[in-house]
Amino acid sequence: MHKYQMLLKLAFFLPAAEALLNYKKITFSAPSSSSSSRNYCSSASGNNLQMRLNPTSFSGTDYTITEFPRPALRRVPNAPIADFDENFETKSQEMIGMMYEAKGVGLAAPQVGLNEDFFVYNPSADENTKHMERIVCNPTISKYSGEVEIEEEGCLSLRSDDCAGQVARSIWIEVEYQNELGQKVKRRLKGFEARVFQHEYDHLKGILCYDRFPPEDREAAQANIDKLLGLYTEDDAQLEPDAKEAIAMQPRPLTTRHMPPLTLEGDEEETQPEEKRKVTKAKSGFGGGGGGMGKTAGVFG
């Protein structure tokens, strides 16, 4: 009887074990932009490593994208915006134009070499939806939801198609900031807009999405990180974020890559994790290009 029971257990669990062995990492569809608009280069090692090239210049501005490991991306604190004058309006509009030209949904001042406390975004990534554009100055996030959502993110400042990884973000946040007129704004953001805001807010704290990747995704991205380091010839490269800002990160970075729970056929009960998490497909790019596992993921400014 004991032998018969063992055979029954094996017959039940073998399909589940096979499913686990065949588990594939989550992949994401490319944002709606033609492949012809993307530029690629191969890695020096000959492994066909793809890196998205940022434009060397943008229409109507002298600003360009600041790329890792330039110190401007890590420098804190950034100077608060005090003058909401014509010069600031010109600067912010140039950044919005760059964001669209780079096929992004957001762009923070440190990403154009300005250590100033503001960013711009449009969660639709569509320049025809001007009503969704936001210019965010001197922001704070006063409250984060306990529930998080895990999506793949990349970044213009990492410019890579293989430098994306899973990032946990609060599904809603409460924020305070000043708009382009200096008016104080309080909002509760949720969903994709909350993710965009959190990503750009991180830039003002010297944090890159790479700092939030689980170890598996950091390892997968290391070849691209090494390539960016090799392209930077100055002696002031800054690899890590400010220690205090790293400790203060909310939500905390993932300690392992998230895999959906394996459900056996016939199961009636579902184990609830202590922390509510869900993995979803990225809805849009945060900059254009980018994405892990050979696909294009959510790439932010």
Q: Determine the 3-state secondary structure of 50 from DSSP.
A: coil
End-to-end CA distance of the chain: 63
288 vs 156: CA distance, rounded Å: 7
**174 has catalytic annotation:** no
The active-site residue out of 200, 216, 219, 269 is 200
The helix (run of H) or strand (run of E) holding residue 142 is strand 134-144
Within 10 angstroms of residue 38's Cβ, the number of other Cβ atoms is 16
Cβ atoms 291, 154 nearer than 8 A:
yes
* Distance (Å, whole) CA 7 – CA 54: 58
H-assigned helices in the chain: 2-21, 86-101, 191-204, 215-231, 243-247
Q: Which are the catalytic amino acids?
A: 200
